[in-house]
Chain A
Amino acid sequence: AQSVTQLGSHVSVSEGALVLLRCNYSSSVPPYLFWYVQYPNQGLQLLLKYTSAATLVKGINGFEAEFKKSETSFHLTKPSAHMSDAAEYFCAVWWSGFGNEKLTFGTGTRLTIIP
C-alpha cells in the first residue's frame, strides 16, 4: 500500500524565514507525489507534483520540493515566508495501476506565519 506521513501538524515560521514542511512516503513502486494547499474555507489547490521527470520540482507561489529516494522524502520548501502562505498543506501520493487510481493524502500541516 502507498501512503504518506507528514511530520508536524503545526509549523510556525517568521515572515521572511525559510519554510520547511516534511513529507515521507511509503511505496513499493516509484511514486507520484503531490503537494496541495488549502486556504480557509476553500478547496485544495495543487502546488506542485513529482512524476519522475526531475527530482527538484518547482511549483507556484515560490514553493519547491525535492524527491529523495534514499530518504523516501518529498519535503516542501520556500526560501522566504510571506503572510499569505498561512494555510493548510497536504502531501499526497497517487496510487498507480489501472483500475486502482486515487490520491491518498497525509493528515496535513497547518502553517502559521509570525509577523
Chain B
Amino acid sequence: DAGVTQSPTHLIKTRGQQVTLRCSPKSGHDTVSWYQQALGQGPQFIFQYYEEEERQRGNFPDRFSGHQFPNYSSELNVNALLLGDSALYLCASSYRLAGGLGTPYEQYFGPGTRLTVT
C-alpha cells in the first residue's frame, strides 16, 4: 500500500509565476491537508479539503488555492509567486472520522515538494 505521494519532488519558479503541486492520499483516506514549511521552521497549516471542499484555512492569502478531486487527490495552486513562498510544501492525508467528531485523526505526511522561487 503506497503512502502519501507528492509531485514534483523539486520545483524552481520565477517571481510572479504560478505553480501547481499535487498530492495523492494514502489508500482509504478522504481528507487532505496542506502545510508550508519554511527553512528552519515548523509546518504551517494552509488549508484542508474534504468532500471536494475547502473546510479549514490557515492564515494564508488568496494566492494560495486548492482543489480536491473525486478520487480524493488534491492540488495546491500558488499564484503570483513571491520569494517568500520558497519552502517545503507538505501534504497530509487522513480519514476524517477515524476518531469520531471533534477528536484528532492521525495525519500521514508525504515527502513534500521543495519549491524555490528566484
Known: A90-B43, A107-B41. A43 touches B102 (CB 8 A): no
Which of B43, B44, B48 sits near A44, CB closer than 8 Å?
Answer: B43
A99 to B96, CA, bound (A): 12
Complex contacts, A97 vs chain B, CB 8 Å: 102
B90 at the interface (CB under 8 A from A): yes
Tell me whether A51 and B112 are in contact (CB under 8 A): no
Tell me whether B56 and A101 are in contact (CB under 8 A): yes
Chain B nearest Cβ from A20, distance in angstroms: 19
**Total A-B residue contacts, Cβ distance less than 8 Å:** 63
Tell me whether A104 and B45 are in contact (CB under 8 A): yes
Chain B nearest Cβ from A107, distance in angstroms: 5
Which of A49, A98, A106, A108 sits near B104, CB closer than 8 Å?
Answer: A49
Interface size on B, residues (CB 8 A): 25
A102 at the interface (CB under 8 A from B): yes
A32 to B104, CA, bound (A): 7
A63 to B72, CA, bound (A): 33
Interface size on A, residues (CB 8 A): 28
Tell me whether A105 and B43 are in contact (CB under 8 A): yes
A55 at the interface (CB under 8 A from B): no
B115 at the interface (CB under 8 A from A): no
User: What are 15 of the A-B contact pairs (CB < 8 Å)?
Assistant: A9-B40, A34-B104, A42-B111, A42-B112, A43-B90, A44-B92, A44-B109, A46-B107, A49-B106, A98-B102, A99-B56, A101-B48, A101-B102, A102-B33, A108-B41
- What are the 4 A-B residue pairs with the smallest beta carbon separation, nearest first? A105-B42, A43-B109, A94-B104, A44-B109
